[in-house]
Amino acid sequence: MNNKSGRLQSAWGALPVVVFIAVWEIVGRFDLFPGQFFFPPFSAVVKEFYHLTANGVLGKNFASSLVRVLIGLCSGSIAGIFVGVMMGWRSVINRALNPIISLLYPIPALGWLPLLMLWIGINEMLPITIIFICSFFPVVYNTATGIRNVDGRYVQAAETLGASNMRILFKVVIPLALPNIFTGLRLEAGMSWRVLIAAEMVAIPTGIGALLMQAESLVRVDIIMVCLIVLSVMCLLFERVFVIMERRLIGKWSNHA
Amino acid sequence: MPDIELVNMSRHVCRNVNLRIMDREIFVIVGTTGAGKTTLLNVIAGVADYKGSVLIDGASVDKVSPRRRGVGYLFQGLALFPHMTVEANIAFGLCAAGMEKSAADRRVASLMEMMHIKHLAHRYPHTLSGGEKKRVALARSLAPSPQVLLLDEPTASLDHQTAKYLRTELVSLLKRLEMTTVYVTHDLREAEEIADRIALMSHGRIEQVSTPRDFFFDPRNEFVSEFVGMPNIIECTRSRTLTSGLVEVVSDEMTMVLPYDGGNIRKIAIPPDDIYISDVKPPGPALNRFTGKVVEISRYGSNVRVRVSIGKNRLLAELPASAFDELSLEEGKDVHVVIKLRRLRYVES
Amino acid sequence: MKYLKMFCLALTLVCLVSFATHAKEEFAINIAVEFTDHAASAYVAQNKGWFEEEGLKPTFYSYVTGMSLAAALGRGDIQAAYMCLLPAINAYANAKVPIKVVTGLHKHGYALTVNPDRIRTVKELERSDIRIGVVQVGGPVDAVLLKTIEKYGLDRSKVLHRVQRMNPPVQIMAIRMGKLDGSFSPEHWPALAEEAGFKVLVRSQDVWPQMQGSVLVVKDELIKNHPDIVRKLLKITAKATGWIKDNPGEAASIMAEQLRIAGDKVFPIEAAKTAAQLVITPSSVGRSMKRLDYTTDIDPGTIQESIDFAAQNGYIGKGFSAHDLLDLRFSK
């Protein structure tokens, strides 16, 4: 009974997607509104997806984008967690860094683009740096908040049980702050792809963003749609990875902390 | 085991508190909410800043961090680490001390056995009942073999039965371990049951420190007297054993039969709410029943206090105002009195 | 009699008003023009009021990218466009935009400018430390780059590895910042690069002798419903093209002024930045215009060559006949 209802639920969830694709296909095939030329049917997009995969163009560009995201996201997250832990754990560090972080945090990652183009130039470091910035600030904030929000009683309990400051930090405070940290990571996992695409659209020779620009220049809407689908899937996938990591690491207790 | 001394300690509501807790005694601090009971525990544990001095075994620990004071602390909220299993919670202090794993595992196993929580080893705190959590927290605080144990309302938010059961086990354990224990509660009856000595706190001040008996028979001031319920102290002129477990005591015109298996009783303390008054003769056997005269009636909050004279004895009875209003009693009128002691408090010859 | 005179007077007045109204009846048309001196004929005609003389009321629009221009044509936001040939081929073949090329505007007009301290020969484009700015794939500038690689026997992958895709104004900024060593761009941008110290190394004439530059493109709809308007557009364009050849100095002055005005609208921020450093002077525009061959002559063979080139290099899926895209009835 559970299996049947589970399958039924999955089918119900997939129905809107199927309807959406069906409508897309129908609208794309028939001349229903002006400028229709710029709305290829779903099947044309799938065909182009296959074509781009078979000739290696999509794979090559995707690999470039993936490497940039992984480097930027990992380095930004690790740096963010490190600084966030420092700021949350020691109020003197928080007082020193908070004004700077507060000033820089509201600047959208893409707002840095013109400056970075001048300082870094147009090379691999440009998109990686943008993604680093996009990941770093939110992770710092969420981590510092998570650390500060850990109930002081847990720290007191650990102290009376003889734990050193480092043990308290690594065995008690950071684990209890993980739900907040994962919130930051999950949000930035998808955002990093969106930011990457925009950064790659500025003169970077490879990557999904570069492919998108080429497609625009060639008036290839089908290729643009392939790029957007890849972007959407990667955003979802990356967010999902963090959800699964979160569930594995802290799922047993995080709802009850 | 060490003794504990607080010298001119001040923090928050507590001002210049001086207190001495003997080694191996179960010292209970009672008081209303906000009296400063938990503050005292925090100061002894070293998890709060304070002015003044704390000495453990005669040595000042003011500059000693909580992790080195050798104090086990059962927090009121328990503070069980939600991300660790029961086993890991209990082992935390042992790992912090650098104990070898196999030794730590053995100690954890023996503590879980002692607290009857072995079956909970791999569970997380949020899956435990209130009573189970308390046992785990207690096991955790005992694991590093502290010399002093601080317990902050350990039976709070438990139902009556579970609280009673836990309290009994706790007292037995504390007596066995012979630890210097400071136990905080707001329930005087609980304090009576387990304490070697009781300290009554109010607004950060120690009102009285004495044995449980002395609280009833020798309250230092009106506050203490009110807190213990203003018991009626009856001097017994004669006491004789009727049969095993029953004794008859006489005090002027009052002859009472009490459940007691011991020597001669010289004084008994009768709480006002153990005295029942009626304008008509109540049914039942004439045991511990008297006729008296109403001397004084006064309203006290939602209760009514009625002073009744029975011979030379003047007893204070207290009953809810709604119950009093159903009686037609007034000063000078005769009244029927029944004494139903829920707990015998006495002083022997 | 009195009434007869009054009647005649009234009739005359009605006729005059009708005539005046008819005479003032203008055809409103939206036209896209490139933000370069490729569209000089359009800018000159606008400056001289020749559109209005023919009863046309044009509104000019400039588009930054080929797709936005193709989309505007597709939606019907614009009815005609002065645009480069290759983007027109892409829009027709890839997006099936219903357009026709009705006349040419010029031949050539694309060049490679280089920092003479960093690049002296075409072969040096292969160097690993070289950075070359090029407009996006699929356009005439990219075509000139590929032709250059072919003609000079360069290593395609090495050169393409040095390429950074960016629009001409961004290339000029990058040149000023020292971030580029070479720049492939459409005129008049090479002239601005020269102002920044670069030198022309390769012109489209050097690698593609009969390269068609820009063309006048109109929507099928306009041809079908208003062939007279198309005829007028051609007439205006031919007149302006002839005038440019006869009056190069004045044409350069007009272009310089028009590009400054148009630049503010198209790239307000970027143009302001560029303008702060490089002034679009008549002399720089004049130098640029000399590198174009302004002519309305158009050869189907050359168009076919461009279509085949586009197909071979993946700009379009497959080739087609130039006659499908051309409609030269009105230019005869």
pLDDT digits (tens, 9 = 90+) for A37-60: 678 889 989 999 999 999 999 999
Q: Are residues C258 and C294 in the same domain?
A: yes
- For the cut 90, the answer to whether the pLDDT of residue C85 exceeds it is yes
pLDDT for the residue C19: 53
pLDDT band at C266 (very low <50, low <70, confident <90, very high): very low
Whether residues C275 and C304 share a domain: the answer is yes
CB contact under 8 A, B83 and A253: yes
Residue ranges of domains in chain A, CATH in brackets? 52-94+121-252 (1.10.3720.10)
Q: Is residue C175 part of a domain?
A: yes
With residue C123 as reference, give the H or E element that holds it.
none
pLDDT of residue B258: 87
Chain-chain contact of A219 with C164 (C-beta, under 8 angstroms): no
CA distance C159 to C255: 34
Taking 90 as the threshold, does the pLDDT of residue B198 lie above it?
yes
A160/B72 Cβ within 8 A: yes
Q: Each residue of A174-225: pLDDT tens digit?
A: 999 999 999 999 988 888 998 998 888 876 778 999 898 888 888 888 899 9
ipTM of model: 0.82
Q: Is position C257 within any domain?
A: yes
Q: For an interface test with C, which of A117, A126, A217 has the most C Cβ atoms less than 10 Å from its Cβ? A: A217
* Residue A156 to residue B96, Cβ atoms within 8 A: no
**pLDDT score of B169:** 86
Give which of B69, B83, B147, B150 to mutate to test A binding, by max A Cβ within 10 Å: B83
| C139: nearest CB among A36, A203, A217 | A217
Lowest mean pLDDT, pick from A33-42, A121-130, C35-44: A33-42
Please give the Cα distance from C31 to A51 (Å, whole number). Answer: 36
Per-residue pLDDT reduced to its tens digit, B93-119? 999 999 999 999 999 999 999 889 999
Q: What DSSP string describes B210-245? A: E-HHHHHH--SSHHHHHHTT-PEEEE-SEEEEEETT
Mark whether C239 and C319 lie in a shared domain: yes
Instruction: Give B139's contacts (C-beta < 8 A, 6+ positions apart).
Output: B90, B111, B112, B114, B115, B117
Mark which of C177, C207, C237 sits at the end of a domain.
Answer: C207
Q: Which amino acid is at A62?
A: F
Give pLDDT tens digits for B12-63. Answer: 888 888 889 998 899 999 988 888 899 999 999 999 989 999 999 888 999 9
Q: With 70 as the cut, is the pLDDT of residue B249 above it?
A: yes
The contacts of residue A234 (CB under 8 Å, 6+ apart) are: A66, A69, A193
Looking at the predicted structure, is the pLDDT value of residue A21 above 60? yes
Cis before C161 (ω within 30): no
The per-residue pLDDT for range C186-245, each reduced to its tens digit, is 988 898 899 888 999 999 999 999 999 999 999 999 999 999 999 999 999 999 999 999
Contact B133, B75 (CB under 8 A): no
pLDDT at C148 over 80: yes
- A164, B96: Cβ pair inside 8 Å? yes
Type of residue numbered C154: L
Domain of residue C161 covers 110-207
The answer to whether position C117 is within a domain reads yes
Residue A171, pLDDT above cutoff 60: yes
Q: How far is A221 from chain C (nearest CA, A)?
A: 8
pLDDT for B280 beyond 70: yes
Strands B205-210 and B232-235 turn out to be unpaired
At A33 the pLDDT is 65
pLDDT tens readout for residues B116-175? 999 999 999 999 998 899 999 999 999 999 989 999 999 888 888 888 888 888 888 888
Is residue C27 included in any domain, yes or no?
yes
Question: Do both C260 and C173 map to the same domain?
Answer: no
- The band of C271, judged by pLDDT with boundaries at 50, 70 and 90, is very low
Same domain, C99 and C215: yes
Computed on alpha carbons and rounded to an integer, the radius of gyration of chain A in Å comes to 23
Question: B137 to chain A: nearest residue by CA?
Answer: A157
Going by DSSP bridges, is the β-strand pair B26-31/B197-202 parallel, antiparallel, or unpaired? parallel
Least confident segment among A30-34, A48-52, C3-7? A30-34
Whether the pLDDT of residue C64 is over 80: the answer is no
Residue C17 lies in a domain: no
For residues C164 and C248, membership in a common domain is answered with no
Contacts of A37 in chain C (CB under 8 A): 74, 95-97
In this predicted structure, the answer to whether residue C265 has a pLDDT above a threshold of 60 is no
The predicted pLDDT at position B246 comes to: 86
What's the confidence (pLDDT) of residue B284? 81
Reported as a single tens digit per residue, the pLDDT across C22-38 is: 445 678 999 998 888 89
User: Nearest residue on chain A to C173, judged by CA atoms?
Assistant: A118
By Cβ distance, the residue of B96, B126, B141 closest to A163 is B96
What's the residue count for chain B? 349
Q: Of the candidates B47, B77, B82, which has its C-beta nearest A159's C-beta?
A: B47
Q: Is A116 on the interface with C (CB under 8 A)?
A: no
Across the interface, whether the CB atoms of C136 and A203 are under 8 A apart is answered no
Percent above pLDDT 70 for chain A: 95
- What integer pLDDT is reported at residue C297 of this predicted model? 92
Mean pLDDT of A20-41: 78
A124 contacts chain C (CB < 8 A): no
**Residues near C268 by Cβ (< 8 Å), separated by ≥ 6?**
none
Residue in chain A closest to C165 (alpha carbons) equals A203
Q: What b-and-e string marks burial along C248-257, b requiring 16 or more CB atoms within 10 Å of the CB?
A: eeebbbbbbe
- What does the pLDDT read at residue C10? 75
Contact A35 C66 (CB under 8 A): no
Judge contact between A171 and C132, C-beta under 8 A. Answer: no
Task: Name which residue leads in pLDDT, C174 or A185.
Answer: A185
Cβ distance C138 to A217 less than 8 Å, yes or no, reads: yes
Q: What is residue C17's predicted lDDT score, i.e. its pLDDT?
A: 58
Tokens at residue A250, please?
């802290």
- Measured CB to CB, residues of chain C less than 8 Å from chain A are 65-67, 70-71, 74-76, 87, 90-91, 94-97, 131, 133, 135-139, 160-161, 163-166, 170, 174, 177, 179, 315-316
C136 within domain boundaries = yes
pLDDT at position B82: 95
Average pLDDT of chain B to the nearest whole number: 89
Please count the structural domains in chain C. Answer: 2
Question: Tokens 């009969």 correspond to what residue?
Answer: C210
CA distance B165 to chain A (A): 25
Residue C84: give its domain's CATH number: 3.40.190.10
- Could you tell me if residue C185 is inside a domain? yes
Measure in Å the smallest separation between the Cα of A116 and chain C Cα atoms: 13
Residues C297, C231: one domain?
yes
How far apart CA A201 and CA A224 sit, in angstroms, is 12
C245 and C96 belong to one structural domain: yes
Q: What is the pLDDT of residues B320-332, one digit of tens each?
A: 999 888 888 889 9
Q: Is the CATH number 3.40.50.300 carried by domain B4-227?
A: yes
What CATH code is assigned to B233-348?
A: 2.40.50.100
Best of B81, B90, B129 to mutate (most A CBs within 10 Å, chain A): B81
C195 and C286 in a single domain? The answer is: no
Partner-chain residue, chosen from B66, B81, B125, that has the shortest CB–CB distance to A160? B66
Write down the domain spans for chain B. Answer: 4-227, 233-348
Q: Report the neighbours of B using a cutoff of 3 or more CB pairs below 8 angstroms.
A: A
> Are residues A34 and C95, on separate chains, in Cβ contact within 8 Å?
no
What is the distance in angstroms between the Cα of A37 and the nearest Cα belonging to chain C? 5
User: What percent of chain C has a predicted confidence (pLDDT) above 90?
Assistant: 58
> Between C24 and C118, where is the model more confident?
C118
Overall average pLDDT of the A242-253 stretch: 90
Q: Which long-range contacts (CB under 8 A, 24 or more apart) does B250-253 make?
A: B251/B313, B252/B310, B252/B311, B252/B312, B252/B313, B253/B290, B253/B310, B253/B311, B253/B312, B253/B313
Mean pLDDT of A54-79: 94
> Are C126 and C102 members of one domain?
no
Q: What is the pLDDT of residue A46?
A: 93
At B2, list the tokens.
């060490």
| Same domain, residue pair C220 and C84 | yes
Do chains C and B meet with 3 or more Cβ pairs nearer than 8 Å?
no
pLDDT above 80: residue A151: yes
B141: nearest CA partner in chain A: A161
Show which of C207, C236, C270 is a domain's final residue: C207
Highest-confidence range of C137-146, C268-277, C278-287, by mean pLDDT? C137-146
Contact C70 A202 (CB under 8 A): no
**Higher model confidence: residue C14 or residue B233?**
B233
Which pLDDT score, from 0 to 100, does residue A257 have?
Answer: 59
Domain boundary among C207, C237, C255: C207
